[in-house]
């Protein structure tokens, strides 16, 4: 028996396009982001899901609602703060260029497994990982053998990658996934283990303009 997880990153915001660190600040989907959300909703309309969990930040919640409205109106949707992006504290809303100049070490620990710490006034990387690990375990315990859809953020997906695929080396960066990408992983009861099965699938977005998600 496997528990199947599908993870969708929210659609694009102006902050994504303009290189702004969003954290837990509210940024709405822009026109491209709405089109992306509608495209991923159409791509997933024939999939079966037993439950949908979404970050309660609007860019994820609106993406989730688009999916709900396209073939999944009978599936329960649960909005939760546990799926929010990393709380970047005082640096939320800063431009990445300025962050790289003033806080290079902070941006480094965000994308590498080496190092620890926290953004000023924000959440620590260790605390962020614990939050996501506890969420995954709780959802697994509640829905074993089911099909689960998660709608959340890029940083959350990086933490899930670490949980599912393991810790990278000192000279590797955690992989990134684009807005409205589809990512899949599962938990095998037979092997008592997680397995990554799909990463950054974006074929459904081929006719929609996308900015490129880059390493900072």
CB count within 10 Å of CB 90 equals: 11
Q: Is residue 134 flagged as an active site residue?
A: no
Q: Within a 13 Å sphere around the CA of 197, how many CA atoms are in the beta-carbon half?
A: 14
Which of 85, 123, 153, 204 is catalytic? The answer is 85
Q: 147 forms bridges with which residues in the sheet?
A: 4
> Which SS3 state, helix, strand or coil, does residue 169 take?
coil
10 is catalytic: yes
Residues sharing a CB contact under 8 Å with residue 127, sequence separation 6 or more, in sequence order: 118
Query: Distance (Å, rounded) from C-alpha 108 to C-alpha 42?
Result: 36
Backbone angles phi, psi at 103, to 5 degrees: -135, 55
Catalytic annotation, residues: 10, 85
């Amino acid at each position: 028996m496997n528990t199947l997880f599908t993870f969708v990153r929210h659609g694009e915001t102006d902050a994504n396009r303009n290189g702004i660190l969003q954290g837990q600040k509210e940024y709405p989907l822009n026109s491209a982001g709405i089109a992306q959300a509608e495209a991923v909703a159409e791509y997933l309309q024939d999939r079966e899901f037993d439950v949908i969990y979404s970050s309660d930040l609007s860019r994820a919640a609106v993406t989730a609602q688009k999916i709900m409205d396209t073939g999944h109106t009978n599936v329960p949707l649960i909005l939760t703060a546990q799926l929010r992006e990393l709380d970047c504290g005082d640096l939320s809303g800063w431009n990445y260029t300025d962050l790289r100049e003033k806080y290079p070490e902070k941006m480094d620990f965000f994308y590498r497994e080496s190092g620890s710490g926290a953004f000023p006034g924000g959440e620590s990387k260790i605390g962020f990982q614990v939050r996501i690990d506890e969420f995954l375990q709780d959802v697994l315990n509640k829905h074993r053998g089911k099909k689960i859809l998660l709608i959340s953020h890029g940083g959350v997906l990086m933490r899930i990658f670490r949980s599912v695929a393991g810790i990278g080396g000192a000279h590797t960066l955690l992989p990134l996934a684009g807005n409205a990408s589809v990512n899949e992983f599962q938990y095998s009861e037979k092997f008592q283990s997680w397995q990554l099965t799909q990463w950054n699938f974006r074929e459904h977005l081929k006719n929609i303009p996308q900015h490129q998600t880059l390493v900072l």
